[in-house]
Structure 1
């Protein structure tokens, strides 16, 4: 079985999650740090591996 990258559409909004406090936001580009705790956010569609 071959791994494949998730589909990416530049104009779409994605859900980003803070791995420290769990805050989630929807944004069209990477939001940077969490507004609540300052930790870097990650796109929830990307695997945590």
Structure 2
């Protein structure tokens, strides 16, 4: 089984999701912490493994 990395475009907006409350935002760079609860955000295109 082959694995592949997700495509990356530095100028594109990506969706990020809060690991605690589930809030989502679109941004061109990592937003850091969630504005609602202060927890870490993750890029939704990356696997949760």
State TM-score, norm by structure 2: 0.96
5 Å-filtered alignment, 1:23-38, equals 23-38=23-38
> Which aligned runs of 4 or more in structure 1 are off by greater than 2 angstroms?
none
Q: CA RMSD in A?
A: 0.5
Structure 1 segments unaligned to the other structure (5+ residues): none
Name the structure 2 match of 1:6: 6
Offset of 1:2 from its aligned partner? Answer: 1.0
**Aligned pair count?**
49
Offset of 1:21 from its aligned partner? Answer: 0.1
